[in-house]
Amino acid sequence: MMLVRVRVNFSALRKVAIHEYVSRFVLGAAITVVAGLIARRFGPVAGGVFLAFPAIFPASATLLEKHQRQKKQRAGIRFTLRGRLAAAIDARGAALGSIALIGFALVCWRALPQHRPVWVMSLALAVWLACAIALWRLRQSHALWCAHRRRTGSP
């Protein structure tokens, strides 16, 4: 069994158009402002809900689908589901990231009133990253293990 390696591909940044960068910035700014305004108007309990609003995900998934579709069209394939399937895989990753996001929120909730905010936020971010990577690795290992068992026919 071979574990999937994570790779960094900086050339992918060149494929993103300027207006796509701008739309992400605007969406991010908008949801941060909205979360602040809701907290001001309705209190921190209601405002906090919008800290885990999937603001950027629709734009990211649409962008990913478009890039995958264009890649296939350049290869001469006009109709393909590849873009939607890639976006679905991206969404499965987001589901794992959201479990890690619960860890981030719990660390902030429990530790912010007692400890220095800078340390708490740093720890919470580290917890999010560690949980997200661990969950992803666990899922990959499970998928590989299942595939291996199917191939070898072992029970």
Partner 1 sequence: MELLIRVLIGGAIVSAFALAGDIFKPKSFAGLFAAAPSVALASLGLTILNDGAAYAAVEARSMAIAAVAFFFYARCCAYLMGTRHLTALSATLCSLPVWAAVSWALWALLLA
Cβ 135 vs Cβ 96: under 8 Å: yes
Total residues contacting partner 1 (rule CB under 8 A)?
84
Of the residues 95, 130, 138, 146, which one makes contact with partner 1 according to CB under 8 A? 95
Length of the chain: 155
What residue has token string 């990959």? 140
Of the residues 77, 84, 126, 142, which one makes contact with partner 1 according to CB under 8 A? 84
Of the residues 17, 70, 77, 99, which one makes contact with partner 1 according to CB under 8 A? 99
Q: In the numeric block, which tokens belong to residue 134?
A: 């661990």
Residue 10 engages partner 1 in binding (rule: CB under 8 A): yes
Residue 43's CB is within 10 A of a number of other CB atoms, namely: 10
Which residue, among 14, 98, 12, has the nearest Cα to 57 in the 3D structure? Answer: 98
Of the residues 72, 91, 123, 144, which one makes contact with partner 1 according to CB under 8 A? 91
Of residues 101-120, those binding partner 1 (CB under 8 A): 101-102, 104-106, 108-110, 112-113, 117, 120
Residue 58 engages partner 1 in binding (rule: CB under 8 A): yes
Report the distance separating Cα 126 and Cα 111, nearest Å.
Answer: 14
Residue 94 engages partner 1 in binding (rule: CB under 8 A): yes
